[in-house]
Amino acid sequence: MKTTTLAAERRAKLATVMTAAGIDVLVAYGNGWQGDYLMYVSDFPILEGHGLAVLTPDGACRLYLDSASEIDRATSETAGIDVRFSQQIGRDVAADLKARGTVRVAAAPLAFVPFALVENAHVTLEDGTLLVDDVLMHKTPAEFDRVRKAAQTADKAYVIFREAAREGRPQYEVVAEVESWLRAQGVADNFMLIGSGGTDIRSVTPPSNRKLATGDLVITELTPSIEGYFAQICRTLVVGKATDKQKRAFAIYIEALEAGIAAVRPGVLASDVARAENDVFRKHGLGEYVTSAYTRVRGHGLGLFADSKPHILENVDIELKPGMTFVVHPNTYNPEVGYIMLGDSLGVTETGSEVFTQTPRVLFDGAA
């Protein structure tokens, strides 16, 4: 069963924001890949199909799902909401809104809602994405604690990963061992990628049948959730003993991660954190490898989705405020040794930051 106290807390926070913005009805969309907007409103972690939740400032929530199996889960796993099955959720939610009369309706994320809803709604759907994004980014103390606990689980899971990363094992076996351990701990979801090899590693991917070999770098981002809230750890190990070249390269990533974390405090911008990380690579003549040709972000938000806002990039001017949680990771390709990953989850506090990840920032030696 879901923690109904936390669900009520989230809806109360949304109600305050809706009232302040003059929004009468909020419609939130979610699917099996990204369900954070839907989860925040309805407290339902959708796994398949599509869902729309309709919320009013009094806390009343109606959840429309187009998967019959999800209806059974939603009925048993949520409390205090009206769950409805619909094979045409766009049209049925449009009819729901029409029955409410002349109201201001915001949808989040507007770009993802079914076209049938936009086409049939009798009112213009306002874009409520930024409004909900702001709520998602600024965690309550209870939410902050969930991310902290997820990071503690990620630390433990990385120990399992290290033990599993042995010479001759295919990537999928390593990942399967971690997944099995997490499920045994009651973790319902984990987003995980892996990469192995040498200079041919360009990024992390879903696990393949590639076997680990002595001398390989083995990289991973491991992202378990606790009660729907994700935290991420990024680390690199070597099968066998690390070479001096690998150690020298990894030292740059430690410097970059520490520079990024040191920049985190209330009032700075996401771009300031990214710049602090990137400047380390530029200092070492590796500025080319912090561009989009080799890497995506220098970190990203964590919460009810494994990769949310704010994105840590030099062109993202979102101000950091207490309660925000994210991962800082200067992950990128190194031309001498291959792609290296190193990242910690943390939260913004009133005076600076709290680093949740406790796994040492070292280039681990693995079994050979």
Domain boundaries, the chain: 4-136, 141-366
Sequence-ordered list of residues with C-beta below 8 angstroms from that of 78, at least 6 positions apart, any chain: 2, 7, 42, 43, 44, 63
Residue 117 main-chain phi, psi, to 5 deg: -70, -45
Residue 285, token pair as written in the block: 């003549």
Amino acid at 63: L
Q: What is the pLDDT of residues 157-202, one digit of tens each?
A: 999 999 999 999 999 999 999 999 999 999 999 999 999 999 999 9
Going by C-alpha positions, the residue among 33, 35, 306 that lies closest to residue 193 is 306
| pLDDT of res. 367 | 64
Residue 325 Cα distances to 33, 41, 221, 354, 357, angstroms = 20, 19, 17, 9, 12
| pLDDT of res. 5 | 87
The label of the residue with tokens 């001017």 reads 317
User: pLDDT class for 102, splitting at 50, 70, 90?
Assistant: confident
CATH of domain 141-366: 3.90.230.10
DSSP code of residue 311: P
- If you average pLDDT over residues 127-144, what whole number do you get? 97
- If you average pLDDT over residues 345-362, what whole number do you get? 98
Beta strands in 32-120 (DSSP E): 50-55, 61-65, 82-85, 105-108
Element (H, E) at 45: none
CB 178 within 8 A of CB 161: yes
Q: What is the pLDDT of residues 297-324, one digit of tens each?
A: 999 999 999 999 999 999 999 999 999 9
| pLDDT of res. 366 | 75
Q: Are strands 61-65 and 50-55 parallel, antiparallel or unpaired?
A: antiparallel
Long-range contacts of 123-131 (CB under 8 A, 24+ apart): 123/97, 125/27, 126/23, 128/23, 128/26, 128/27, 131/17, 131/18, 131/21, 131/23, 131/106
| pLDDT of res. 1 | 39
- The alpha carbon of 4 is separated from its chain's Cα centroid by a whole number of angstroms, namely 22
pTM over 0.75: yes
Count of other CB atoms within 10 angstroms of residue 241? 12
CATH fold of 4-136: Creatine Amidinohydrolase; Chain A, domain 1 (3.40.350)
Q: Decide: helix, strand or coil at residue 250.
A: helix
Element (H, E) at 69: helix 68-77
